[in-house]
Amino acid sequence: MLVLGQDEKAKYPFLADAGEYLKDKGFSLTQFGSDPVLKLSVEKALHRIKVAAAGEVYKSDLIDGQASKDYVLEREVFSFLLAIVLIKLTGMSTLVKRFALAEARRAENYLEKDLGNASNKSKIDLATRIIYDLFNIEIIKENDFFVMPVSDYLKHSVTFHEREWKLINRHVENGKVFLTPDKTVRLIRKELGNYISSKITNAPKPSMIPGLEKIVDELITISKKLTPTYTITTGEYPPCIKHAIDVLEKGENLPHSGRFMLATFLLSRGQTVQQIAPLFKNAPDYNSRVTLYQLNHLAGTSGSATTYACPSCEKLKTQDLCFITKECDNIINPSQFGKKRK
Amino acid sequence: MNEINIKFLEDSFKKYYFNHFELIPIPQRTPEREFGFQKFNSSFFNRHISLKDGKELRLLFMQNTPSDVYCSNAYYAFPNSPMNEKDWKEADLIFDIDAKDLDLPCRPNHTVSICNQCSEITKNNNQCTKCNSNKLEKKSLPCKTCMNASKVEVKKLTEILINDLGIEKENIQIYFSGNEGFHVYVFNSQFQKLGSKERSELVDYIMFRGAIPETFGMKKFKPNRSSFPDFNQNGWNGRFSKQVFGSKSKRSKIISELLENGYSSFQKTLEHVSEEIGVKIDPNVTMDIHRIFRLPGSINSKSGLTKLLCTDITKFDPYNDACFLNDEPVEVLATCPVEFKLKNKKFGPFLNEKISIPTYAAAYLICKKLATIA
């Protein structure tokens, strides 16, 4: 378990044990609803959530990661813990997600600074310890870079869609990947968000604290305005799918990866195995029994019951199956083609 | 395939397994592997088999006279359960390099076509010369150029595995696949527990796919000379330099050209470079973590040759070293329009001829559907 100093608790408040922290400081939750001095922390918590809901990153009162006064530092931690309490009281999952993401990005800034702080070994050590304790990645500083085993890098980088994160675009040597401090931290952003989000989700829901009802109501109203948008689909197929259908219609050979793409795409558009199977009739090696077996497997109706998803545009590019047009409009998966947010 | 041919192949294979069982290394952690086998003339694939040890493996060969035997690269808690209940633990990393994927110009010269409709055998065609059907089965015969090109890919691959991916040389094993390529096995590496998606990323790295210009020094805005890679660098930067710049003296001039041609032209350069220096492995094989692979030491029924460990890849001659069936003469009726060489002996071309050839050559032709027992 990490032993954190006061500064670190303010920078990485999600590492602190909420209940224990309050107890240590001699406070109970109910005091925050009535005590006018403590109410300042509540206001700060509210601000912190509002900033996150707006998609921004909350700016602390810390200067260079240091608190000027002890009470500033305390308020930093309190406001984080109270924000969690308030979000739990609203019961709105949208707020959990937004808050976790914003807090992850805030922590990311500090981690990046700590890792990049060549003159302060203890800060680097702490940041690397946090990354190890939370995500089980062992990183070592080597000159200006942080190195980690290729396998650890891959476990995290596969969730990125940008080409820059492909292993080929990293310096790799002797089983290790070399990263700058910002990329090292960026690699774990999603997990950091998940970690904070799970901390909030797993925290017990407190009963309503008298004096905080209004604030909770205000947050519920904000959250409702953020309710997810709905999408409409034009129904048109993306160019990669059109191309695959063309190839099959001409009786030419579509590689296995192309067939996989086509089938998973059409399944995702709600077509049935029986509707899709005839498409493959012209393939030079067509066998109806094998086709049905494979389609049922992809649909998850036989075999492992896993439903296979359509590969990402990035993957299709590397398989020479992408025929991008401007209508693709920056989508990252063919199944998003033609969907417009309203 | 008719009964007489099957009987001949089964007898020849059986003799091999009886006399050369020592060529089959018992897979490490046998009880955690999934095994499978096929029999001649049966499309049924016996898999999800678990075996305790080498004795049970031997029994599988003796009781079933299989045409092909397979073993998983994965380790499972319950290898004989259905796939989704096996409880996958980890898998060795395996690469498949096959001459047929190398687009070599020699290929048409040693490929024969067998018509699925009328069984006519001709030299590489896309349409049957007898019945005009375009449903043809292609069979390729051994060629030194193909094997040498495959060896080059194996060497490129092992260099990346050792230098870039930090794999110990002792943990790499190279096998001739028994037909036209090589299987490269990596044991006890940091990649054992990686899933399919992560392995697919490794594949892209090894094949040099998905590279962006920035990685190799070319920027969209204000590109400068100093960011281009150099010869002495490790990894892809160094290999890229050697390929694109050729020699140190040309480096400066070529960088000037690259800068002049701009960003999008550089992207094309990368695609071209990928074709040249990327390792030509079969991506689907490496990313499949539930596959069963031909068992080392077993015979490949596509050729009658053995999947054999290569200790010295440069000297290795598959069509001599992996040919273990005996040389008792056999009479066959053969149609093979292409000449081939086994155990340093030339055979063919045969044009619907009744001939007497050694068992290994007869098995080779029968496996390729180019001959039948006379």
Q: Do B204 and A256 touch (CB under 8 A)?
A: no
A158: distance to nearest CA of chain B, Å?
A: 6
Q: Do B201 and A169 touch (CB under 8 A)?
A: no
Burial A316-334 (b: 16+ CB within 10 A, else e): bbbbebbeeeeebeebebb
A190 has a pLDDT exceeding 90: no
Residue A110, class by beta-carbon neighbours within 10 Å (0-12 exposed, 13-18 middle, 19+ buried)? Answer: buried
- Alpha-carbon distance of A77 to A129, in angstroms, equals 20
Opening angle at CA A311, ends B267 and A318, nearest 5: 20
Determine if residue A213 is left, alpha or beta; phi over 0 gives left, psi from -120 to 50 gives alpha, anything else beta: alpha
Q: Do A304 and B84 touch (CB under 8 A)?
A: yes
Whole-number average pLDDT of chain A: 84
A297-306, B134-143, B211-220: least confident range: A297-306
Q: Do A163 and B212 touch (CB under 8 A)?
A: yes
Query: Closest partner residue to B164 among A151, A173, A304, by Cβ?
Result: A173
A145: chain B residues, CB-CB within 8 Å: none
Q: Do A257 and B284 touch (CB under 8 A)?
A: yes
Residue B251's Cβ-side half-sphere holds a number of Cα atoms within 13 Å equal to 15
A174: chain B residues, CB-CB within 8 Å: 163-164, 166
How does pLDDT run across A241-251, given as a tens digit for each residue?
999 988 888 77
Q: Do A173 and B204 touch (CB under 8 A)?
A: no
Interface test mutation site (partner A, options B159, B215, B270, max chain A beta carbons within 10 A): B215
Q: What is the pTM of this model?
A: 0.81
Residue of A nearest to B213 (CA): A169
Opening angle at CA A244, ends A239 and A245, nearest 5: 100
* pLDDT at site B48: 96
Active-site entry in B68, B92, B96, B288: B96
- Per the DSSP assignment, residues forming a β-bridge with B91 are B74
DSSP label at A66?
Answer: B
How does pLDDT run across B264-286, given as a tens digit for each residue?
999 999 999 999 999 999 999 99
* pLDDT at site A63: 58
Residue B110 DSSP SS3: helix
For tokens 């066998």, the residue is A287
Angle between helices B235-245 and B263-277 (to 10 degrees): 100
Tell me whether residue B96 is one of the annotated catalytic residues: yes
A99, A105, A121, A117: which is closest to A45 by C-alpha?
A99
* CA-only gyration radius of chain B, Å: 24
What percent of chain A shows pLDDT beyond 90?
Answer: 23
* pLDDT at site A342: 45
What percent of chain B shows pLDDT beyond 70?
Answer: 100
Indicate the residue type of B294.
Answer: R
* pLDDT at site A227: 64
Indicate the residue type of A10.
Answer: A
- Alpha-carbon distance of A139 to A145, in angstroms, equals 10
Any chain B CB within 8 A of the CB of A151? yes
B206 has a pLDDT exceeding 80: yes
Tell how strand B299-300 and strand B292-294 pair up: unpaired
- Alpha-carbon distance of A328 to A334, in angstroms, equals 8
B178 has a pLDDT exceeding 80: yes
Tell me whether residue B98 is one of the annotated catalytic residues: yes
Any chain B CB within 8 A of the CB of A282? no
* pLDDT at site A66: 58
CB pairs under 8 A between A and B: 85
Local confidence band at A72 (pLDDT 50, 70, 90 cut-offs): confident
Mean pLDDT of B158-167: 98
A7 has a pLDDT exceeding 80: no
- Alpha-carbon distance of B163 to B165, in angstroms, equals 6
A326, A328, A320, A267: which is closest to A294 by C-alpha?
A267
Query: Closest partner residue to B205 among A168, A284, A315, by Cβ?
Result: A168
A303: chain B residues, CB-CB within 8 Å: 83-84
Query: Closest partner residue to B235 among A172, A256, A284, by Cβ?
Result: A172
DSSP label at B81?
Answer: S
How does pLDDT run across B58-85, given as a tens digit for each residue?
999 999 999 999 999 999 999 999 988 9
Domain ranges of chain B: 3-97+175-193+282-325, 210-277
A1 has a pLDDT exceeding 70: no
Indicate the residue type of A276.
Answer: I
A200, A213, A198, A194: which is closest to A18 by C-alpha?
A200
Mean pLDDT of B96-125: 89
CA separation (Å) from B360 to A308, B182, B191, B303, B369?
Answer: 44, 21, 39, 9, 14
**pLDDT top residue among B172 and A20:** B172
Query: Closest partner residue to A167 among B84, B193, B205, by Cβ?
Result: B205
DSSP label at A63?
Answer: B
* pLDDT at site A340: 64
If you average pLDDT over each of A90-94, A113-117, B100-104, B316-320, which comes out highest?
Answer: B316-320
B106 has a pLDDT exceeding 50: yes
Kindly state the helix (H) or strand (E) to which residue A339 belongs, with its residue range. Answer: strand A339-341
B190, B180, B110: which is closest to B147 by C-alpha?
B180
A50 has a pLDDT exceeding 50: yes
Any chain B CB within 8 A of the CB of A317? yes
Kindly state the helix (H) or strand (E) to which residue A199 belongs, with its residue range. Answer: helix A189-202
* CA-only gyration radius of chain A, Å: 25
Mean pLDDT of B123-147: 86
Q: Do A151 and B191 touch (CB under 8 A)?
A: yes
Angle between helices A93-116 and A70-90 (to 10 degrees): 150
Structure tokens that stand for B152 in this block? 């080059």
What is the phi/psi pair of residue A109, to 5°?
A: -60, -45
A337: distance to nearest CA of chain B, Å?
A: 22
Any chain B CB within 8 A of the CB of A301? no
A304: chain B residues, CB-CB within 8 Å: 83-84
B215: chain A residues, CB-CB within 8 Å: 168-170
If you average pLDDT over each of A16-20, A285-289, B197-201, which comes out highest?
Answer: B197-201
A181, A130, A118, A179: which is closest to A150 by C-alpha?
A179
Kindly state the helix (H) or strand (E) to which residue B255 belongs, with its residue range. Answer: helix B248-261
Query: Closest partner residue to A166 among B163, B201, B237, by Cβ?
Result: B201
- Alpha-carbon distance of A46 to A44, in angstroms, equals 5
- Alpha-carbon distance of A319 to B283, in angstroms, equals 10
Whole-number average pLDDT of chain B: 94
DSSP secondary structure, A302-321, as one string? STT-PPPPPPPHHHHHHTT-
- Alpha-carbon distance of A226 to A219, in angstroms, equals 11
Angle between helices A189-202 and A121-135 (to 10 degrees): 60
* pLDDT at site B185: 98
Kindly state the helix (H) or strand (E) to which residue A85 belongs, with its residue range. Answer: helix A70-90
Residue of B nearest to A286 (CA): B135
How does pLDDT run across B26-53, given as a tens digit for each residue?
999 999 999 999 999 888 999 999 999 9
Q: Do B165 and A168 touch (CB under 8 A)?
A: no
How does pLDDT run across A215-268, given as a tens digit for each residue?
889 998 888 887 655 555 667 889 999 999 888 887 777 888 999 999 999 998
Mean pLDDT of B299-304: 96
Active-site entry in B101, B164, B204, B282: B282
What is the phi/psi pair of residue B88, to 5°?
A: -65, 130
Residue B121 DSSP SS3: strand
A328 has a pLDDT exceeding 60: yes
Question: CB of A180 within 8 A of CB of A145?
Answer: yes
User: Which residues, in sequence order, are CB contacts of A39 under 8 Å at separation 6+?
Assistant: A32
A284: chain B residues, CB-CB within 8 Å: 134-135
Structure tokens that stand for B218 in this block? 């070319």
Any chain B CB within 8 A of the CB of A315? yes
Question: CB of A338 within 8 A of CB of A328?
Answer: no
CATH topology of domain B3-97+175-193+282-325: DNA primase, PRIM domain (3.90.920)
A25-29, A198-202, B125-129, B202-206: least confident range: A25-29
ipTM of the complex: 0.93
Any chain B CB within 8 A of the CB of A91? no
Structure tokens that stand for B366 in this block? 């029968």
For tokens 């007869």, the residue is B362
Determine if residue A338 is left, alpha or beta; phi over 0 gives left, psi from -120 to 50 gives alpha, anything else beta: left
**pLDDT top residue among B372 and A18:** B372
* pLDDT at site A302: 76
